[in-house]
């Protein structure tokens, strides 16, 4: 109130406090921000997390290793395969279980399909946040095909429970492989079409270029991971830098932000990294379909799975970045402690810093560009 007197306007103005969420249309799930605005300009936006907490980590202490795999699906239901894989990798590391080679390829195929599906949701809803309704439906149409493929692979469309300790639950039959190949052939031109429809749109670029810029230093200090980190120009991908599974044998690029429309690390760069990652996933899928060997999909794993006492941390490159499972074993059938590290949680913490001085519409663009996912934040 004193400020307005000092500016000499004579108008008695004060900041308006708005609660954005948890039922706001563009907070994707149940996020909430307490936003203080001066008209359209935001002075601060404080994230409020915890609306979707389901105690997934605590449940891990109460169920067996095999029984916990379906629970990991729910950590991030848009990319369930990666949580499956990270937990199974942690359990395998603890027990020293070998994964069959065909099992590894099945894992990579399923994961990359899931990555495309997750990125499609991300860029589609992002377009919808900016106001373009059509790209969202087109993206979901393509995702529907992936869901059908997933249903053929493992019988589920969203929470897969496909990757098991020692391999995968079901082998991918040659007919399904052919269908995945046909999908990849179909999907690559769709990315171009999507770019013509949305990425090249003048209004879309104007809305995103130079908005909510994350510098390299900020990205490090706020521990951003995945496409958000790569959008700031950091070439860091767990698949390449801490290789796991059969990724070292595969050829793929790590797309980073190029700043070709605005500044390095702006909202458009983060979006663009996701678009390019979908193309890279297609490349990986093609190679995998060619290289997949014959053999069993899962190795012999005892039903009563008792890893020796110890602890380990396994990390995978999920669509929302570095996802890690920290599992402590006391030698019993149940994990002693499970801790999940997810990318959305750290991405959420930078919103407060970036939102100062931007407009209300930019906050929506910022949330969409960071691709924060409510189930993954709270777990």
- For the residues of 157-174, what is the DSSP string, one character each? SSS---EETTEESS---H
158 touches another protein (CB under 8 A) = no
Alpha helices of the chain — where are they, by DSSP H? 2-7, 56-59, 65-73, 80-95, 101-130, 134-154, 174-194, 202-208, 216-221, 227-231, 238-241, 267-291, 343-354, 360-370, 374-378
Query: For the packed helices 174-194 and 101-130, what is the interaxial angle rounded to 10 degrees?
Result: 30
* Binding flag, residue 201, another protein (CB under 8 A): yes
Region of 217 (left: φ > 0; alpha: ψ -120 to 50; beta: rest) is alpha
- State yes or no: residue 30 binds another protein (CB under 8 A): no
Shortest approach of another protein to residue 206 CB, angstroms? Answer: 6
- Which residue number, 137 or 158, has a Cβ lying nearer to another protein? 137
Does residue 206 touch another protein according to CB under 8 A?
yes
Q: Is 178 buried (19+), middle (13-18) or exposed (0-12) by CB count in 10 A?
A: exposed
Given 137, 158, 173, 242, the residue binding another protein (CB under 8 A): 137
Q: Does 204 bind another protein (CB under 8 A)?
A: yes
User: Measured from the CB of residue 57, what is the shortest distance to another protein in angstroms?
Assistant: 32
Quote the radius of gyration of the chain (alpha carbons, Å).
Answer: 22
Shortest Cβ 54–another protein spacing (Å): 26
179 binds another protein (CB under 8 A): yes
The structure tokens listed for 241 are 């830098």
Q: Which is nearer to another protein, 206 or 249 (CB)?
A: 206
What's the min distance (Å) between Cβ of 7 and another protein? 20
Tell me the C-alpha distance between 46 and 32, whole Å: 8
Please report whether residue 143 would count as binding another protein according to CB under 8 A.
Answer: no
261 binds another protein, rule: CB under 8 A: no
CB nearer another protein, residue 63 or residue 197: 197
**Cβ–Cβ under 8 Å, residues 107 and 283:** no
Candidate residues 3, 14, 193, 253; the one interacting with another protein per rule CB under 8 A: 193
Residue whose CB is less far from another protein, 40 or 98 = 40
Q: Which is nearer to another protein, 224 or 278 (CB)?
A: 278
SS (H, E, C) 188-229: HHHHHHHHHHHHCCHHHHHHHCCCCCCCHHHHHHCCCCCHHH
Residue 159 or 176 with smaller CB distance to another protein: 176
286 binds another protein (CB under 8 A): no
Do the beta carbons of residue 89 and residue 325 sit within 8 Å? yes
The least CB distance from residue 130 to another protein, in Å, is 4
Structural contact between residues 311 and 327, judged by C-beta atoms closer than 8 angstroms: yes
Question: Interface residues with another protein (CB under 8 A)?
Answer: 16, 18, 24-26, 39-40, 127-134, 137-138, 141-142, 144-145, 148, 179, 182-183, 186, 189-190, 192-193, 196-198, 201, 203-204, 206-207, 359-362, 364
């Amino acid at each position: 109130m004193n400020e307005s007197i000092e500016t000499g306007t004579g108008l008695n103005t004060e900041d308006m406090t708005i609660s954005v969420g948890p039922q706001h249309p563009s907070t994707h799930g149940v996020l909430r921000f307490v936003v203080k605005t001066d008209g359209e300009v935001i002075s601060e936006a404080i994230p409020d997390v915890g609306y979707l907490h389901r105690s997934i980590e605590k449940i891990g202490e109460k169920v067996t290793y095999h029984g916990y795999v379906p629970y990991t699906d729910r950590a991030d239901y848009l990319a369930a395969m990666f949580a499956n894989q990270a937990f199974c990798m942690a359990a395998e590391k603890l027990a020293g279980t070998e994964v069959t080679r065909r099992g590894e390829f099945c894992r990579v195929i399923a994961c990359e399909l899931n990555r495309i599906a997750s990125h499609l949701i991300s860029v589609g809803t992002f377009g919808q946040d900016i106001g373009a309704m059509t790209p969202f439906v087109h993206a979901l149409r393509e995702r529907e095909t992936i869901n059908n493929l997933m249903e053929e692979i493992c019988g589920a469309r969203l929470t897969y429970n496909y990757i098991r300790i020692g391999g995968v639950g079901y082998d991918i039959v040659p007919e399904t492989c052919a269908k995945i190949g046909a999908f990849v052939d179909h999907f690559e031109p769709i990315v171009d079409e999507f770019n013509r429809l949305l990425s090249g749109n003048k209004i879309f670029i104007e809305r995103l270029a130079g908005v909510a810029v994350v510098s390299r230093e900020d990205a490090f200090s706020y521990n951003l991971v995945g496409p958000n980190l790569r959008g700031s120009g950091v070439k860091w991908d767990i698949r390449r830098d801490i290789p796991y599974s059969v990724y070292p044998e595969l050829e793929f690029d790590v797309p980073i932000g190029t700043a070709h429309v605005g500044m390095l690390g702006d909202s458009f760069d983060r979006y663009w990294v996701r678009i390019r990652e979908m193309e890279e996933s297609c490349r990986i899928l093609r190679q995998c379909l060619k290289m997949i060997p014959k053999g069993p999909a899962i190795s012999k794993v005892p039903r009563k799975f008792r890893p020796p006492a110890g602890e380990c941390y396994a990390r995978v490159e999920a669509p929302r970045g570095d996802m890690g499972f920290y599992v402590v074993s006391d030698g019993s059938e149940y994990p002693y402690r499970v801790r999940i590290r997810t990318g959305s949680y750290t991405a959420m913490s930078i919103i407060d810093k970036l939102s100062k001085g931007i407009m209300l519409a930019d906050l929506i663009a910022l949330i969409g560009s960071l691709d924060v996912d409510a189930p993954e934040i709270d777990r």
